[in-house]
Amino acid sequence: MPSPKPKRRPSRRAASPRPSPKPYHHGDLRRALVDAALHLAAAGAEVSVREAARRAGVSPGAPFRHFPSRDALMTAVAAEAQRRFRSEIEAALAAAPSDDPLAQIRSLGLAYLRWAMKNPAHFEIISTGKYFDHDAAGEVSKDNAEIIAVMARLLGEAAARGKLRHGDLKRTQIAARALVYGFARMLIDGHFPRWGIAEDEVEPMAEGIVDLFIDGIAK
């Protein structure tokens, strides 16, 4: 991952000869904290408010001017990750043949798994229910609901064309989601070594289970 280094943004107007190394007003501390948290997570570290503050060059109390709690920060981080996740999935769907719903479902599943494999820590932040207990996380829910809606539409089209063996679309959709969610989670939770699956076998296996599932539901 090419880590976009902490951008020292030019101060808002005329830059003073020597830009102060620790400006009193940060400019966009909120954004800097979210970025720091994303980098911490991607590096495999625990995300702490204090460490994010350190990375942003501010005092331990400063983040609480922008987020009422650690959970609120993590919710913002999750929203950003979910946004990236969704946009990658939509790109994959756009590249798939638009007249074949099962092929589109396959693309959706593969894009889902590929993103999770490339961004395991961010996937975990999106997935785990530790933050935003209710669905107070409007943005996260919205982006997720969008993916759910796309999948529902694709399943509906497939059913309309007589391509599905099973009539209960909701059940089919939950099973599909459980499959990819479970695979991604097993990866993140470190189960594959115990299953004798080496790192370079994960991606082919991901493809394999998507195909196996689609074969199973297709008529």
Partner DNA sequence: ACCTGAACACCGTTCAAGT
Q: Which residues in this chain contact a copy of itself in the complex, by CB under 8 A?
A: 127-129, 133, 135, 141, 144-145, 148, 165-166, 168, 171-172, 174-175, 177-183, 185-186, 188-191, 193-195, 197, 205, 208-209, 212-213, 215-217
Residue 154 CB, nearest distance to a copy of itself (Å)? 16
Number of neighbouring beta carbons within 10 Å of residue 154 = 22
Q: Which does 175 bind (CB under 5 to 8 A by kind): DNA, a copy of itself, none?
A: a copy of itself
Helices H / strands E in the chain, number of each:
8, 0
Residue 75 CB, nearest distance to a copy of itself (Å)? 13
The answer to whether the beta carbons of residues 132 and 72 sit under 8 Å apart is no
Q: Smaller CB distance to a copy of itself: residue 91 or 174?
A: 174
Give Cα separations from 68 to 65, 76, 125 (angstroms). Answer: 7, 12, 19
Binding status of residue 50 toward DNA by CB under 7 A = yes
- Measure the CA–CA gap between 126 and 82, rounded to whole angstroms: 6
Q: Which does 10 bind (CB under 5 to 8 A by kind): DNA, a copy of itself, none?
A: none
Residue 97 CB, nearest distance to DNA (Å)? 46
What is the 8-class DSSP label of residue 5?
-
Q: Which two tokens stand for residue 216?
A: 């199973």
- Measure the CA–CA gap between 10 and 16, rounded to whole angstroms: 10
- Measure the CA–CA gap between 105 and 111, rounded to whole angstroms: 10
Binding status of residue 49 toward DNA by CB under 7 A = yes
Using CB under 7 A, pick the residue from 42, 62, 152, 205 that binds DNA. 62
Using CB under 7 A, pick the residue from 25, 165, 170, 194 that binds DNA. 25
* CA diameter of the chain: 71
Q: Smaller CB distance to a copy of itself: residue 56 or 184?
A: 184
Q: Which does 145 bind (CB under 5 to 8 A by kind): a copy of itself, DNA, none?
A: a copy of itself
Binding status of residue 66 toward DNA by CB under 7 A = yes
- Measure the CA–CA gap between 209 and 104, rounded to whole angstroms: 16
> How many residues would you count in the chain?
219
- Measure the CA–CA gap between 202 and 193, rounded to whole angstroms: 10
Q: Which residues form the interface with DNA (CB under 7 A)?
A: 22, 24-26, 29, 47-51, 57-62, 64-66, 68-71
